[in-house]
A and B are shown apart, each in its own frame.
Chain A
Amino acid sequence: MYAVRRFAVRRSSGFLRIYRMFEGIIVFLDPVLRLVGYGRLERPFAFLERNFKGLLFDCKMCGQCVLSSTGMSCPMNCPKTLRNGPCGGVRPGGFCEVKPEMRCVWVEAWDGASRMPEGLERIRVVQPPVNRELEGSSSWLRVAREKAASLRQMRETPDPSRHMLARAFRRARQIEPAAAPIAAEPNAALAEHSVSERTAVFTKGESAAGKNNGGGNAKKKG
Chain B
Amino acid sequence: MASFHEREPFDPILNGPLLALPGHKSASFLERTLRKGQFAVTAELNPPDSADPRDVLKAAEPLAEVTDAINATDASGANCHISSMGICSILNRAGLGTVLQISCRDRNRIAIQGDVLGAAAMGVGNILCLTGDGVGVGDQPGARPVFDFDSLSLLRTLKTMRDEGAFLSGRKLTMAPPIFLGAAENPCIPPIEWRADRLEKKVRAGADFIQTNYIFDVEVFRRFMQRVCDMGLHEKVFILAGVGPLASAKSARWMRSNVPGIHIPDSIVERLEKAEKPGEEGKKLCIDLIRQIREIPGVHGVHIMAYRREHLVGEIIEDTGILKERMTAK
Interface residues of A (CB under 8 A from B): 79-94, 97-98, 104, 106-107, 110-111, 120, 124-129, 160-161, 163-165, 167-169, 221
Partner of B131 from the list A82, A92, A127 (CB cut-off 8 Å) is: A82
Contact of B151 with A84 in the complex, beta carbons under 8 Å: yes
Do B186 and A88 have beta carbons less than 8 Å apart?
yes
Given A82-B131, A98-B136, A164-B160, do A90 and B190 touch, yes or no (CB 8 Å)? yes
Contact B191 A88 (CB under 8 A): no
CB neighbours of B133 from chain A (8 A): 89, 97
Closest chain-B Cβ to A51's Cβ sits at a distance in Å of: 27
The stretch of B45-53, B142-150, B277-285, B318-326 in contact with A is B142-150
Are B260 and A97 neighbours in the complex by a CB distance under 8 Å? yes
Tell me whether B261 and A82 are in contact (CB under 8 A).
no
Given A98-B134, A124-B201, answer yes or no on A129-B191 (Cβ-Cβ < 8 Å).
no
Do A93 and B190 touch (CB < 8 A)?
Answer: yes
B156-183 interface bits toward A, Cβ cutoff 8 Å, 1 = contact, 0 = none: 1101100010111111000000000000
Which of A87, A106, A107, A127 has most B Cβ within 10 Å? A87
B68 at the A interface (CB under 8 A)? no
Q: B185 within 8 Å of A by Cβ?
A: yes
Given contacts A80-B147, A160-B169, A161-B170, contact A126 B191 (CB under 8 A): no
Q: Is the CB of A110 within 8 A of B191?
A: yes
Q: Who on chain B is nearest to A111 by CB?
A: B191
B160 touches A168 (CB 8 A): yes
Q: Is the CB of B261 within 8 A of A89?
A: yes
Find chain B residues with CB under 8 A from A126 CB: 152-153, 155-156, 201, 204-205
Q: Known contacts A80-B104, A88-B185; can you find 17 more A-B pairs with CB under 8 A?
A: A79-B145, A80-B150, A83-B153, A84-B201, A85-B150, A87-B151, A90-B190, A90-B261, A98-B136, A104-B190, A110-B191, A124-B204, A126-B153, A129-B148, A164-B160, A164-B169, A169-B156
Contacts of B169 in A (CB 8 A): 160-161, 164
Given that A80-B134, A107-B190 are known contacts, is A88 also in contact with B261, CB under 8 Å in the complex?
A: yes
Q: Which residues of B contact A79 (CB under 8 A)?
A: 134, 145
Chain B residue contacts of A87, Cβ below 8 A? 131, 150-151, 261
Contact A124 B260 (CB under 8 A): no
Instruction: List chain A residues, Cβ under 8 A from B104.
Output: 80
CB distance from A123 to the nearest CB of B (A): 8
In the bound complex, how far is the Cα of B166 from the Cα of A165, in angstroms? 11
Does B189 have its Cβ within 8 Å of any Cβ on chain A?
yes
CA distance A79 to B150 in the complex (A): 12
Q: B127 at interface (Cβ–Cβ under 8 A)?
A: no
Residues of chain B with a CB closer than 8 A to A83's CB: 150, 152-153
Residue of B nearest to A75 (CB): B150
| B260-271 contact mask (Cβ, 8 Å, vs A): 1 or 0 | 110100000000
Cβ of B81 under 8 Å from chain A: no
Give CA–CA (A16, B307) in the complex, Å. 46
B93 cross-chain contacts in A, Cβ below 8 A: none
Q: A83-B153, A84-B152, A110-B191 are in contact. Are A164 and B170 (CB under 8 A)?
A: yes
B153–A127 contact, CB under 8 A? yes
Q: Once bound together, how far apart are the Cα atoms of A42 and B189, in whole Å?
A: 42
Nearest A-chain residue to B189, judged by Cβ: A90
- CB proximity of B261 to chain A, nearest CB, Å: 4
B147 nearest CB across to chain A (Å): 5
Contact flag A92-B189 (CB < 8 Å), given A84-B152, A87-B131? yes
Alpha-carbon distance between A84 and B205 when the two chains are bound, in angstroms? 10
